[in-house]
Amino acid sequence: MNLSSPPSAEQGLDVHRRLCAGSRTATAELCAAYLPYLLAWLERVEPRADPHLRTQAAEDALLKLAQVPWSYRPERGGLATYLRMSARCDLSNAERSERRHHRLRISLAIVEDSPQAGKYLGREDAAPIEPIPALQGLDEKERRVLELIAEGERRTEAFAAVLELSNLSPAEQFGEVKRAKDRIKKRARRAGGLRERSA
Amino acid sequence: MSDPLEALAVRVDASPFFLGRVLLAYADSESLDEAGLARALGCAPRVLALLRLCRAPREAAPELGQDLDEIGDRFGVDADRLLSVVRRGQALLRLQAVAPAAHGFLMAARDAEPPREDRP
């Protein structure tokens, strides 16, 4: 297999047509035909990226297309181009998320290493901690959803995982996640505790 | 795991969208590892990865047969053998879905542990 060039445009159109028609084998053929190419391409254009994140991005691009094939419109360009854009976008999101978690880890480490007494809870002379109004009355899953919203997470599958909806179809997940987010945002806004990032 | 396709196949095993979940249910019930599952299906490990990445077949009778014929023809796997594995896997997944307490029920049917002799 030549990793530097993608499968032909005709092959791409054929596999996409069969994905849309509900073929049972087209998902496997899509992955077999494009995964090695996407991995090689990402390694070439993003050589400094974490190899694990590159692999995950290539896999995500393929799995999304396998499950929602109509997200690709053949009239707008070739399948390989679409998958490259999708994988690069996923990689960039994953790197951003990784950086955010890294910053959080660093800031927590600073608190842990600090000799100052303020990091300890439950001191008699410490002021009582007021609960954050937006989090009052939310259950554990709803709190996590609210945290994801505040972190700028936009992927439906991330919310579906928290809400334990991963067993639903992508369309059902989308609907359920949207309803849950709307409900939680409404409650948080009422409590005056949600400031979303502008996109 | 060096083959990226096999790594991807492992990743989709938890998704109901893919055949891998059905095959995994069967393999678990028979305590088979990947090589054992490939032997049960009569295929090479590389083909097993492709099977796991296929879309899960529909459950109703005529469509199930059509879907497994398509998969068997494409990847050179005996459709009858595939059918018996898939039927068992689907049945196990249905059982898990409707009876989440079945695990405890089955545990209750196990033999009791023999009494420990060092107990006072």
Determine, for residues A28 and B17 on separate chains, whether the beta-carbon distance falls below 8 Å.
Answer: no
On whether the CB atoms of residues A24 and B19 are closer than 8 A, the answer is yes
Determine, for residues B17 and A36 on separate chains, whether the beta-carbon distance falls below 8 Å.
Answer: no
Q: Could you tell me the two tokens for B42?
A: 């009569």
Compare all CA atoms of chain B with the CA of A61 and give the residue at the minimum distance. Answer: B8
Q: pLDDT tens digits, residue range A14-72? A: 999 999 999 999 999 999 999 999 999 999 999 999 999 999 999 999 999 999 999 99
Closest of B49, B47, B52, B27 to residue B37, by C-alpha:
B27
- Proportion of chain A above pLDDT 70, given as a percent: 76
Best residue in A1, A20, A27, A55 for a mutation probing chain B (most B CBs within 10 Å) = A27
Which residues does chain B have within 8 Å of residue A167's beta carbon, measured at their own beta carbons? Answer: 16
* C-beta neighbour count of A97 within 10 angstroms: 16
Q: What are the angstrom distances between the C-alpha of B87 and each of A89, A180, B17, B19, B65?
A: 39, 35, 16, 12, 11
Contacts of B102 (CB under 8 A, 6+ apart): B95, B96
Q: How confident is the model at residue B27 (pLDDT cuts 50, 70, 90)?
A: very high
Supply the ipTM of this predicted assembly: 0.81
Is residue B79 over pLDDT 60?
A: yes
Is residue A197 over pLDDT 50?
A: no
Q: Give me the residue from B19, B53, B74 closest to A31, CB to CB.
A: B53
Which residues does chain B have within 8 Å of residue A29's beta carbon, measured at their own beta carbons? Answer: 74
Q: Is A28 on the interface with B (CB under 8 A)?
A: yes
